[in-house]
Structure formats: C-alpha cells, structure tokens
Structure 1
Amino acid sequence: MTETVKLKSPIDGSIYAERPLASDATINAAVERARAAQVEWAATPIAERGKYLLAMLEELIGMNDEIVTELAWQMGRPVRFGGEKGGVEERTRFMVEIAGAALKPVPASNPKDGFRRYIKRDPLGVVLVIAPWNYPYLTAVNTIVPGLMAGNAVILKHAAQTLLVGERFQAAFDKAALPKGLFQNIVMNHAQTEKLLGSGRIDHVNFTGSVAGGRAIEKAAAGTFMTVSLELGGKDPAYVLPDAKMDHAVANIVDGAFYNSGQCCCGIERVYVHEKVYDEFVDGFIDLTKQYVVGSPLDQATTMGPMAQSRFADLVREQKAEALRKGATAHIGMKVEGDRAGSPYLGPEVLTGVNHQMSVMREENFGPIVGIMKVRDDDEAVQLMNDSPYGLTASIWTTDTDRAAAIGDRIETGTVFMNRCDYIDPALVWTGVKDTGKGGSMSAVGYENLTRPKSFHLREAI
C-alpha cells in the first residue's frame, strides 16, 4: 500500500486532503529532469526568465478566490484577510525587476590596461525549497522566484499542513508554460528529504521552520558542500518609548502579536514598555485585544481563526499556565467555543507581571499570547531584547529616528523596525542571527545567496 500524507483541517478535524508520497524513483527522476532543464535555463536571458515568472504570478493571482478558502481549511487563517496575494505580488515583481542589475557582472574596481577582469554570478544548479505552513505562499516565493530568476531549477517540498499550496504553484507554472523540469512540486516525508539532501545532487537548500528542523537539515547536508539557508525560530520583541504615538503603537503591536493567530515568523511575542507610558500602553493594548472575534475562519466576522494544529495551541496554554503559577496576570480570558486542551481554538491573551524566568518571555510560542514588561530606560530594554537565543526582527516605537537607529545598532537581530513590525520589505535582505539561522532572502543579497561568484581574468594577446 502506498504511504500517504494526510492534511487534517484545524476547522473541524476532518482530513481535508491526502496525497501519496513520491517514490524514490519519482524523486530521482525529478532531480534528473531539474538538472537537465537547468543547463538550458541558465543560458536563457534574464529578461526572458522574468516573463515566465510574471506569467506565473498572473496565473496564481487568478486562483486567489479558491486559494483563500483553501488556506482557511488548511491552516485556519480567516477568509476576511484575503490570503497572501499582495505580498506575493510585491515580492515577485520586485525580485524580477532587480534581477538584471543584481546578476550583472561586476568589473574589477581597479582597471588595468590590457586586461578584462570581472566577477560574474553563476546559478548554483538545483535548489530545494522546504516551505512552512504559516505563510505558505510568501515563504515559498521568497526563494522560488529569485531562485529561478538566477538561473537555477527549483524543487519544492511543502509542509504537510499546506499540501495544496505546492500544487497551486505547480499549476501556475504549468499554465505559464515554464519549461518542464525547472519547477517541480514533490510530496516527501522527512526521511526522504534527508536522503535527498545527503545525496549530493542538491546544490542549495532553503528551509523555514524550527531550530530542530534546521539542525536536521545541516546534519543531512553535511559533507555535500551544498549551501544552506535557514530561517528558524523567533522571539521578536517590541520596545515602546515615552514619545511613541500611542494609538499607532498599540494598534500595530496588537496586530503584530495576534495576526494569523500569532503564527508569524516575525510576529511580536514580547513587549517592553518604558515606565513613563507603561500603564497607558497596557490599557490600550488590553482594550483592543478584547475586540478580536475568534471562530471559524470561513466566517467573514472572524478575525482570529484556530491555530493550525491542536498541539500548537496546547503549547500556548502551557506557557500561560506556567506564567500564572509564577505570578503573572492574565487580562483577557476570552471565552471561546471549543477552547479546551487538545483543541486548536483559543483566544488571544495578554500577560503582565512577567519576567525572563518564564517561558512565555524566553521560548517561542508561535501563538496568540504576549507578555508585556515595564523597563526603566533604553539600556534595560536592549538587555532584555538581547536576552534570547533568537534574532529575526525587533521593533522600536518612537518619533526619534536617530534614537531608534542607535538602539537598533545594539540589538542582536536581522531586521530593525521603527514604528512598524511583521513585514518583509523585498528591497531589504531578510535574515536572522543566533538560533534564528543563517543566509538571507530578498534584495540583491538574496541573489548572492542563490548564485556563486565566478571570476574572469582575461589578458589581451601581446
């Protein structure tokens, strides 16, 4: 009997989709097709590659109504938010637009008579994208689009929780008439993925997921000399200064903490507020959080759906219980139908009286719970923001740009925000430090990570 992958919907626990695992022969054939197609693709002009990518984008946008409903069933995001179309379009168009300049050969900085010297960016070959379920289109497109634009072939292994996303990408590329073999969606389990990584036939892997998953990726790839890009855990902080525009800060940090049920790579999980505005901020934060409507993501009135899996919700419940045992105060206590151990449904929660001896302030929860701490000054805020094994983003809320930049220089993080959070700007590299991982996507730097430098040192005949 063929082994299958089952997608259990968080809406009602039903099996929403089931797909057979690819056989070893199927995986091997896919890699061979990718490698053969990539050779010709690498010789295709960048502008021509861009036409295929933009055609794929149009096909994907045309499927959005169906995609929005599928996302609700697969991972619980409310239909009222319209899926991920906007971000996918912004990132795709930008990365296609800058490809020519980003991949253009760079002349040596010190010209010499009689020589032609430059550095060229060559594609790596076959790129494997291992994408997560929380933003299944956005996280995948971050590497799929620049990977193909850079002249690579791309194989996508999507999360079991979002099986249908890979099929949507495949259908969009097929309708765009991308040459066969350049993009392939394959259903694999962990063991098959690790075997493929260790085979030496993959040139680059991009993985977004847990720290444990990242370690497994590096272990599987050890000795192959392939390049590895990892975006792993996060515990992103926000710091609210006394001069912050309070209404703006409250509204955006609440959204940054609870959008997508808190299941955001760069969502706000901990907040530090200057003592001068602590009470005002906390009061506003609690009032706005109480306005969330938790329920079926298929209902237009719902602003927070279930978490993708029950075990994720149970982790949030455990963190809350531990914090309360250690003296924290919970302020929301929203009554949500179906909220019980073993259920993916639970309401947002705001905790005060927290400290860094509590897991809610130290360990990633990836859910709708946030702790708020009072701080005396910038030094204490920076010390606490850096007291974490992770470093993806940090946001600073102030009207003083110079002060924000100075504080940002002291924070161990991949991105410093001022007066915004939970956003990827495709013109800036998306990267992390410490246990959040390594490598980077988006911007021209993203192209550097998907190519290898090749030097040309050409001397004219004497």
Structure 2
Amino acid sequence: MTKRLQTLSPIDGSVYVERDLATAEEIQAVLELAVGAQRRWRTVPVAERVAIVRKAVAIFSSRESDLAIELSWMMGRPIRFAAGEIKGFVERATYMADIAEASLADLQLPAKEGFKRFIRREPLGVSLVIAPWNFPYLTAVNAVVPALLAGNAVLLKHSAQTPLCSERMVAAFTEAGLPGGVFQFLHMDHADTETLIQSPGLAHVAFTGSVGGGEKVEQAMAGRFLSSGLELGGKDPAYVRADADLTHAVETAMDGAFFNSGQSCCGIERIYVHDSVHDAFIEQAVALVNGYKLGRSDDPDTTLGPVVKPESAAFIRSQIADAISQGAKALIDEAHFPMDEAGSAYLAPQILTDVNHGMRIMTEESFGPVVGIQRVSSDEEAIALMNDSEYGLTAAIFSQDVDVALALADQLQTGTVFLNRCDYLDPALAWTGVKHSGRGCTLSSVGYEHLTRPKSFHFKILS
C-alpha cells in the first residue's frame, strides 16, 4: 500500500498538503537519473550554470506572494513576514552565483620550469539535501544553489511539514532550463531516507535539523566515507555589556529571540545582561514583548504566529514550568495573549528572569517563543556562561567598544559572532557551527570547498 504524507497547518489544524511518499523503486530511479545527469552537468561551463541559476532565481522571485502564503499555512509564519524568506533566498542564491566562477577557478601555483601544475575543484557527484520546516527555503538554498553551481546534481527532501517547498524550487529551476535529472525532489519517510544515504550513487549529504536527526544521518553514512555537512541545534546566547546602546540591544535581542516564534537555529535563546543595565533592559524588553500580537498566520496584523505543532508548544510549556518550579520568574502575563491555549499550537511569548544553568531553559534547546535573561557582573562571567553549552552556532555581543568586543569574540566557542546584531546570515561569510551545532560549512567562497574535491595536476613538459 502506498504511504502518504500529510501536512497539518498550525493555523487551524487542517490538512493543507497530501502527497504519496516515493516507493523504493521510484527513489532508485530518481538516483540513477541524477547520476547520469550529473556526468553531463559537470561538463557544462560554470558561466552557463550561473546563467541558468540566475534565471531560476528570477522565476522563483516572481512567485513571491504565492510562496509566502503557502509558507504561512505550512509552518505558521505570519504573512506579514513570510515574503522576507523569498527575498533572503534571492540574496543568497545571487551572491553564490556572483562568486561562482572565481571560487571554482583552477588554483594556479607559482611557475616551475619544465612543469605545469594546478589544482582543480571537481564536483562531488550527487548531493542529497535534507531541509527542515522552520526556514525551508533559506536552509535549502544554502546547499542547493552552490551544489548545482559546482557541478553536482541535487536531490532535495524537505520536511513533511513543508513539502511544497521542494516542489516549488525544482519547478523554478526546470522552467529556467536546467537539464532533466540535475535537480529533483523526493518525498520520503525517515527509513527510506536512511536507505538512500546508504546507496552507492550518493556522494554528499547536507542535513539541517536536530542533533538527533544528525546522529541518524551519521549512522546511515557509517562506512561510506561520504562528504557531509550538518547544521544541527543551537542555544545561542547574547551578552549586553554595560556600554551597550540599550534601546538598540533590547529591540535587536527580542527580535532575535521571538522572530518566527523563536523557531530558528540561530535565534537568541539566552541573554546575559550586565548588572548595571539589567533592570532597565528587563523593563524595556517586557514592554516590547507585551506589544506583540499572537494570532493566525494569515492575519496581516499578527506579529507572533503559532509554533509548528501543539506538541512543540507543550514541550516549551514544560520547560517554562520547570524553570518556575526552580525559582525563575515569568514576566509576561499570558492573559495579554488570549489565543494562548493549552493543547494548541498558539503559545504566548515569555521572558524568564532569576534563571541559572541548573535550569533546562538555559541549557536545552527550546525552539520557541521564550528567552531566559540572567544577570552577570563582568565580561569574564558572561563569556564563561556563553561557552557553557553543548552548542555553538552563533553568539551576539552588544557593546559600543569594538576592540573589547573583538577580544571577547575571540574567546567564544561558536561559528559566528555578531556585534550589535543577531539572527542573521550574511552569504559572504562562512556559515558553520562547532560542538553539537554541526560541522562543515555553507555559503561564502569557503562553502564551495565543501561541495568539491581538489584534484591535482602535475605535468612534466618534455622539450
């Protein structure tokens, strides 16, 4: 019997998408098509690959309003913000296309008489990109576009919560003239995904998701010596120094904590505030968050949508309850957010103070609209607490002293350090994590190194 995928919208719990899952025979046929297509695609000049990608991006961008509506219904982002993800897709894809020819050019060595020597960056082969639901287009574009530009074929599997995203991406590239088989999507369950990872035709896996999901991917890859990139969990911290521009710090950190209902790998989940500005920071933060409107994602007035599933809301509520039972104070009155209802995906935002690292809320990934704020007395204390985590994706410092901030940033165990901003990805910079936040790199010129292998040419010229 054919297995079915069913996407329940967090807006009202209705079935928004239904699809048949691919059979084992269909998956194998897609892989074989990709292997053959990649052999031809790798011979296409980079400039031609770039032209096709630019055309696909333009087609994709032209459908922004429809894509935004689908995004709101599939994963719950307020419609007033949903189009921003399409714009981010365009920014990242365009930048990687801009730098493709230079990044993929042969690396020439100093002249050596009687020899011709250079290093060529060869594509890996067929790449499987496994993308999550929380930022389905932005996480996918990080791997898909540079993989294609580097001469790889791509198989895209999106979360069962956002299956239309893979279909829409492939459709845009197909319409742009990308040869058949070079970019395909698959709707699969976890077991079939693991089987595909073990298939001989696959050369690379890019996975974005939970630490547990990353472990499953690594187990499936065991003994295959595949190239891989893993972007996993986060418990990203921010530190507000005594010299911070307080109004800016509050606005930026709260947006970093609550945008997308806190469902961001690099969202701010814990904040350390210097004692001298702590109370003022809290006062402004509470006032700001109380101004949010929790509501249906398709309501243009909504600023805070539901989390993706009722089960996710229940998990976050349990973290909050545990923290309060250990002495934390909840500063946001849930009565200000009437749509908050136990058993639903609608969850009021929450700020917790009097927290410490003995509480789950400060150490365990929340992935929801809650943030713990802890008072600190020095830079040293803040850095120690920021590093006291099994994760290391991003960290933010708020200060007006750039030199001091740079010295502190050098001590942080994280892939990206922000100053006076957070929760942002610049495609010109390497996107990477340390510890349980993952391994590998996407975007920037460095990202191309993870989607190619070096091949050395050492020619002796006979006169």
Cα separation, 2, equivalents of 1:413 and 1:366 = 18
Cα separation, 2, equivalents of 1:52 and 1:415 = 31
- The superposition leaves residues 267-295 of structure 1 with CA deviations (integer Å, 9 ceiling, x where unpaired) of 00000011111111111111101110000
- The superposition leaves residues 26-79 of structure 1 with CA deviations (integer Å, 9 ceiling, x where unpaired) of 111111111111111111111100111111111111111111111111000000
Cα separation, 2, equivalents of 1:341 and 1:455 = 61
Q: Is 1:360 the counterpart of 2:361 in the alignment?
A: yes
Q: Is 1:250 the counterpart of 2:247 in the alignment?
A: no
TM-score (norm 2): 0.98
What's the counterpart of residue 104 of structure 2?
103
Partner of 1:239, secondary structure, is strand
Partner of 2:436, secondary structure, is helix
Partner of 1:279, secondary structure, is helix
What's the counterpart of residue 423 of structure 1?
424
Task: Write the mapping of 1:44-59 to structure 2, written as runs, cut at 5 A.
Answer: 44-59=44-59
Question: Is the 8 Å Cα contact of residues 263 and 367 (structure 1) preserved in structure 2?
Answer: yes
Question: Is the 8 Å Cα contact of residues 290 and 334 (structure 1) preserved in structure 2?
Answer: no
Partner of 1:454, secondary structure, is strand
Cα separation, 1, equivalents of 2:219 and 2:116 = 41
Cα separation, 2, equivalents of 1:334 and 1:167 = 39
Compare 78-87 and 375-384 and name the one that shifted more: 78-87
What's the counterpart of residue 231 of structure 2?
231
Cα separation, 2, equivalents of 1:322 and 1:166 = 38
Question: Is the 8 Å Cα contact of residues 310 and 344 (structure 1) preserved in structure 2?
Answer: yes
Partner of 2:205, secondary structure, is strand
- The superposition leaves residues 217-274 of structure 1 with CA deviations (integer Å, 9 ceiling, x where unpaired) of 0000111111111000100000001111111111000100000000011000000011
Cα separation, 2, equivalents of 1:145 and 1:273 = 39
What's the counterpart of residue 314 of structure 1?
314
- The superposition leaves residues 159-179 of structure 1 with CA deviations (integer Å, 9 ceiling, x where unpaired) of 000011111112111211210
Cα separation, 1, equivalents of 2:62 and 2:186 = 23
What's the counterpart of residue 131 of structure 2?
131
* Residue identity matched to 1:136: P
Identity %: 52
Cα separation, 2, equivalents of 1:320 and 1:329 = 10
* Residue identity matched to 1:353: D
Q: Is 1:346 the counterpart of 2:347 in the alignment?
A: yes
TM-score (norm 1): 0.99
Question: Is the 8 Å Cα contact of residues 204 and 227 (structure 1) preserved in structure 2?
Answer: yes
Give how far 1:338 is off: 4.3
Q: Is 1:119 the counterpart of 2:154 in the alignment?
A: no
What's the counterpart of residue 199 of structure 1?
199
- The superposition leaves residues 81-120 of structure 1 with CA deviations (integer Å, 9 ceiling, x where unpaired) of 1421221111011000101111111122x43111111111
Question: Is the 8 Å Cα contact of residues 295 and 339 (structure 2) preserved in structure 1?
Answer: no
Gaps of 5+ in 2: none
Gaps of 5+ in 1: none
Cα separation, 2, equivalents of 1:393 and 1:92 = 22
Question: Is the 8 Å Cα contact of residues 295 and 337 (structure 1) preserved in structure 2?
Answer: no
- The superposition leaves residues 322-379 of structure 1 with CA deviations (integer Å, 9 ceiling, x where unpaired) of 0100001001123334423321101110000000000000000000000001111111
* Residue identity matched to 1:19: R
Partner of 1:431, secondary structure, is coil
Cα separation, 1, equivalents of 2:446 and 2:155 = 21
Question: Is the 8 Å Cα contact of residues 61 and 87 (structure 2) preserved in structure 1?
Answer: no
* Residue identity matched to 1:60: F
Cα separation, 2, equivalents of 1:113 and 1:333 = 76
Q: Is 1:323 the counterpart of 2:323 in the alignment?
A: yes
What's the counterpart of residue 88 of structure 1?
89
Compare 82-91 and 10-19 and name the one that shifted more: 82-91
Cα separation, 1, equivalents of 2:307 and 2:2 = 30
Q: Is 1:68 the counterpart of 2:68 in the alignment?
A: yes
Query: RMSD value over aligned CA atoms?
Result: 0.9
Question: Is the 8 Å Cα contact of residues 413 and 433 (structure 1) preserved in structure 2?
Answer: yes
Cα separation, 2, equivalents of 1:341 and 1:413 = 35
Say if 1:69 and 1:54 are closer, same or farther in 2 by CA, change over 3 A.
same
What's the counterpart of residue 240 of structure 2?
240
What's the counterpart of residue 457 of structure 1?
458
Cα separation, 2, equivalents of 1:314 and 1:107 = 57
Task: Write the mapping of 1:377-416 to structure 2, written as runs, cut at 5 A.
Answer: 377-416=378-417
Partner of 1:74, secondary structure, is helix
Q: Is 1:266 the counterpart of 2:235 in the alignment?
A: no
Aligned residues: 461
Cα separation, 2, equivalents of 1:178 and 1:337 = 49
Question: Is the 8 Å Cα contact of residues 200 and 226 (structure 1) preserved in structure 2?
Answer: no
* Residue identity matched to 1:399: Q
Give how far 1:310 is off: 1.1
